[in-house]
Amino acid sequence: MIINELRQSHALAYLLRAAGLARSVYYYWRKVLQRPDAYVSERQLIHRIFHAHKGRYGYRRMTLALRREGCHLNHKTVQKLMIQAGLKSTVRPKRYRSFRGDEGGLAANRLQRHFRADRPHQKWVTDITEFNIRGEKVFLSPVMDLYNREIVAFSIARTPRLPMVMAMLGKALQQVKDAEGLVLHSDQGWQYQMPAYHAALTARGAEVSMSRSGNCLDNAVIENFFGLLKSEFFHGQKFTGVERFIRELRAYIRYYNHDRIKANLKGLSPVEYRIQALGTATT
């Protein structure tokens, strides 16, 4: 046994000399590789959180999620551990930049890209997005509160007709006792130009705001939500039919509101942030 170790030692010395490396380099890396893993439990926790959220968390959001579990790691350490484990979140496509058009004739652009709100139900945004499910179209019409990015209400339909938008609006307005001063911003889609839409809002004291023509940046927050929705939920997924897609879409929106944490909401989900803010205001 001693002879074998000596032979191995001489062979190692020869290889190190041929590579131009000192013997100490070999022993250093052998010691490093034999060192026990200091992040065994953290790796297991990262795996559990990553798969629980279906691969939707990158290292920044993962760092916040770990802190909620009592695990306080530096974000760079979390990034390294995720890279080593081959865990990579879904990547959203970059949004295109459109030209600056004229403002709408039916309603002014009251929002003016001021996407922050001081309280719930102060500024809402809405739009419509389309999905193609095995050759069949499905449309989603949500309204988002800019205070905490919560989806206040939504409706789903096979055609983007006015009743879909009015159903969404009715559900949203049921969430507020007093809509006086509330601003609801949209693009210049024909549904938002209908008298019934304007009348439903003004009857409650809310104000209509509309983007300039052809400028998606004026409604960037809801566009960003659609990008997130499609990258985390839709792209790369297979749905057996429209009914199952709609059930899973509803489940994702609930997940987004209640469970998906956001860095700019202090590591809370939209609903958690709203509840915490209301609790602080009443104490």
DSSP the chain: -HHHHHHHHHHHHHHHHHHT--HHHHHHHHHHHHSPPTTHHHHHHHHHHHHHTTT---HHHHHHHHHHTT----HHHHHHHHHHHT-----PPPPP-----PPPSSS---STT----SSTTSEEEE--EEEEETTEEEEEEEEEETTTTEEEEEEEESS--HHHHHHHHHHHHTT-S--TT-EEEE---GGGGSHHHHHHHHTTT-EEEEPPTT-GGGGHHHHHHHHHHIIIIITT---SSHHHHHHHHHHHHHHHHHT--BGGGTTB-HHHHHHHHHHHHH-
| Lookup: tokens for 21 | 């490396």
Question: Are 26 and 49 part of one and the same domain?
Answer: no
Provide the mean pLDDT of the chain. Answer: 83
**AA letter at 73:** L
Question: Are 157 and 189 part of one and the same domain?
Answer: yes
Residue 101: is its pLDDT beyond 70?
A: no
Question: Are 200 and 156 part of one and the same domain?
Answer: yes
Question: Are 26 and 162 part of one and the same domain?
Answer: no
Decide which of 144 and 63 is more confident. 144
Question: Are 133 and 231 part of one and the same domain?
Answer: yes
Range of the domain at 17: 2-34
Does residue 107 sit within a domain?
no
Residue 13: is its pLDDT beyond 50?
A: yes
Does residue 76 sit within a domain?
yes
Question: Are 153 and 205 part of one and the same domain?
Answer: yes
Decide which of 47 and 153 is more confident. 153
pLDDT at 199: 95
Question: Are 139 and 202 part of one and the same domain?
Answer: yes
Quickly state the pLDDT bin for 12 (edges 50, 70, 90).
low
Cα gap 194→185, rounded to integer Å: 14
Question: Are 167 and 80 part of one and the same domain?
Answer: no
pTM metric for this prediction: 0.72
How confident is the model over 204-228, as a mean pLDDT? 88
pLDDT at 84: 78
pLDDT at 2: 44
Question: Domain total for the chain?
Answer: 3
Residue 102: is its pLDDT beyond 70?
A: no
Does residue 266 sit within a domain?
yes
How confident is the model over 102-121, as a mean pLDDT? 82
CATH of the domain at 143: 3.30.420.10
Question: Are 274 and 208 part of one and the same domain?
Answer: yes
How confident is the model over 63-68, as a mean pLDDT? 82
Question: Are 65 and 190 part of one and the same domain?
Answer: no
Does residue 53 sit within a domain?
yes
Does residue 94 sit within a domain?
no
Cα gap 117→112, rounded to integer Å: 13
Question: Are 200 and 266 part of one and the same domain?
Answer: yes
| Cβ–Cβ < 8 Å for 140, 127 | no
Quickly state the pLDDT bin for 258 (edges 50, 70, 90).
very high
Does residue 226 sit within a domain?
yes
Question: Are 14 and 52 part of one and the same domain?
Answer: no
Does residue 103 sit within a domain?
no
Condensed to tens digits (0 to 9), the pLDDT of residues 186-211 reads 999 999 999 999 999 999 999 999 99
pLDDT at 283: 42
Does residue 95 sit within a domain?
no
